[in-house]
């Protein structure tokens, strides 16, 4: 039932600002924090906090940020024995969060850009998770090894890249937001659930695949073998949307690895993402299983 995550590990420099800066504008931050981040690390933390054994495959640099990230992952219950220590800097993200909870992010890839493709896949793992912040060839190799080992694969195609297009068929579960859906389809995302479901079907790369479109505060739409699943999100006070998508993916992976149905795992993941946006930071905002279960019951 273990989850294996292959992806980026960043240290996030998070600055609160009254509003997101426009081009050429200087904005004074009201606070800053150094927090764990990176889509791979975030999703691993989200899965581990559901009480599911989780292993991280990634790379950090030989700097203080790398040490801090390994410590943060370990404290969250993520296995870090396979994380590589490479010469040079750890990935770094500059994150600006407005008073309205919206964010702007600039990433320095660091060690993530040099992450090598894995040579094998951990035996007995139920679910493999990857994203697009590390080399596409390495992601493709990881998902191929996972499928050969009999694991279910989840690919969060974020950020959307031309190289990521070739990876789509390797995913049993493909997760995109509306921007990423539009990129891969080469067209604007249509309005209305029926049209959106049709767009998700057009993105399917093979039979039996799930395509899940996250819709922010509007919830999620999933198209797959069981038909269309449309779940709204609950209205909650938004503090910071950073990491909400990663919370969704990690919790979804954890619950699927335990054998839950897609419909129930999606419902749990939507609630978890709703909890995360009420807190500051990415990995720092991710809820425990007890908090998610309480949210489901509420």
Query: Is 216 labelled as part of a ligand binding site?
Result: yes
Do the Cβ atoms of 87 and 61 come closer than 8 Å? yes
Q: Which is it for strands 78-79 and 54-57: parallel, antiparallel or unpaired? A: parallel
Number of H helices, E strands in the chain: 8, 15
- Residue 15: phi and psi, rounded to 5, are -120, 130
85 DSSP β-pair partners: 60
| Residue 59 or residue 93, greater confidence | 59
pLDDT at 297: 85
Specify burial of residue 236 (Cβ count, 10 A radius: 0-12, 13-18, 19+). Answer: middle
Radius of gyration of the chain (CA): 18
Global confidence as pTM: 0.93
245 DSSP β-pair partners: none
- Reported as a single tens digit per residue, the pLDDT across 172-222 is 999 999 999 999 999 988 889 999 999 999 999 999 999 999 999 999 999
- Reported as a single tens digit per residue, the pLDDT across 26-40 is 999 999 889 899 999
Do the Cβ atoms of 285 and 240 come closer than 8 Å? yes
Residues 6+ apart with CB under 8 A from 129: 3, 4, 5, 6, 7, 43, 44, 47, 153, 154, 155, 156, 249, 250, 253
Do the Cβ atoms of 59 and 112 come closer than 8 Å? yes
CATH number for position 187: 3.40.1190.20
Sheet of 31-37, strands arranged across: 31-37, 10-17, 91-98, 103-108
- Reported as a single tens digit per residue, the pLDDT across 120-160 is 999 889 999 999 999 999 999 999 999 999 999 999 999 99
- Reported as a single tens digit per residue, the pLDDT across 246-284 is 999 999 999 999 999 999 999 999 999 999 999 877 788
| Residue 268 or residue 99, greater confidence | 268
Residues 6+ apart with CB under 8 A from 92: 10, 11, 12, 13, 65, 107, 108, 110
- Reported as a single tens digit per residue, the pLDDT across 65-78 is 999 999 999 999 99
Q: What angle do CA 294, 49, 220 make, to 5 degrees?
A: 65
Interval 94-111 mean pLDDT: 89
Inform me whether the pLDDT recorded for 1 exceeds 80.
no
Interval 49-57 mean pLDDT: 97
Buried b (16+ CB within 10 A) or exposed e, 137-156: ebbbbbbbbbbeeebbbbbb
**Three-state SS at 13:** strand
Q: Look-up: residue for tokens 């039932």?
A: 1
| Residue 104 or residue 210, greater confidence | 210
Parent domain of 175: 3-297
Query: Is 279 labelled as part of a ligand binding site?
Result: yes
Query: Is 214 labelled as part of a ligand binding site?
Result: yes
Interval 279-293 mean pLDDT: 87
Query: Is 112 labelled as part of a ligand binding site?
Result: no
Spatial distance between the Cα atoms of 181 and 179, rounded to a whole number of angstroms: 5
- Residue 295: phi and psi, rounded to 5, are -65, -40
246 is catalytic: yes
Q: Look-up: residue for tokens 């299983």?
A: 289
pLDDT at 31: 92
Query: Is 39 labelled as part of a ligand binding site?
Result: yes
Q: Which residue of the set 33, 63, 246, 293 is catalytic? A: 246
Distance set, CA 51 to CA 77, 186, 254, 270, 291 (Å):
8, 39, 8, 18, 12
Query: Is 234 labelled as part of a ligand binding site?
Result: no
Give the chain's domain count. Answer: 1
pLDDT at 186: 94
Spatial distance between the Cα atoms of 93 and 65, rounded to a whole number of angstroms: 11
């Amino acid at each position: 039932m273990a989850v294996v995550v292959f992806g980026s590990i960043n240290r996030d420099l998070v600055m609160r600002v009254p509003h997101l800066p426009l081009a050429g504008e200087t904005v004074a931050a009201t606070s800053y924090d150094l927090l764990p981040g990176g889509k791979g690390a975030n999703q691993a933390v989200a899965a581990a906090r559901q009480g599911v054994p989780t292993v991280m495959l990634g790379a950090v640099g030989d700097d203080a940020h790398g040490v801090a990230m390994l410590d943060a992952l370990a404290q969250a219950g993520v296995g870090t024995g396979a994380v590589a220590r490479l010469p040079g800097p750890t990935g770094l993200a500059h994150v600006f969060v407005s008073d309205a909870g919206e964010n702007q992010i600039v990433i320095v890839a660091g060690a993530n850009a040099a992450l090598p493709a894995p040579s094998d896949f951990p035996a007995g793992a139920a679910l493999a998770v990857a994203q697009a912040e590390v080399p596409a060839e390495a992601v493709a190799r990881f998902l191929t090894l996972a499928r050969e080992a009999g694991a279910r694969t989840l690919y969060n195609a974020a950020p959307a890249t031309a190289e990521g297009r070739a990876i789509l068929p390797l995913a049993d579960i493909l997760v995109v937001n509306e921007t990423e859906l539009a990129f891969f389809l080469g067209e604007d995302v249509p309005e209305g659930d029926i049209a959106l479901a049709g767009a998700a079907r057009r993105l399917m790369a093979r039979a039996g695949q799930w395509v899940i479109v996250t819709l922010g505060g509007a919830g999620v739409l999933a198209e797959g073998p069981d038909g269309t699943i449309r779940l709204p999100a609950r209205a909650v006070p938004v503090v910071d949307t950073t990491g909400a998508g990663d919370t969704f993916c990690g919790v979804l992976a954890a619950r699927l690895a335990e054998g839950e149905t897609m419909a129930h795992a999606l419902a749990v993941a939507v609630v978890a993402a709703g909890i995360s946006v009420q807190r500051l930071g990415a990995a720092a905002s991710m809820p425990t299983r007890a908090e998610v279960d309480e949210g489901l019951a509420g």
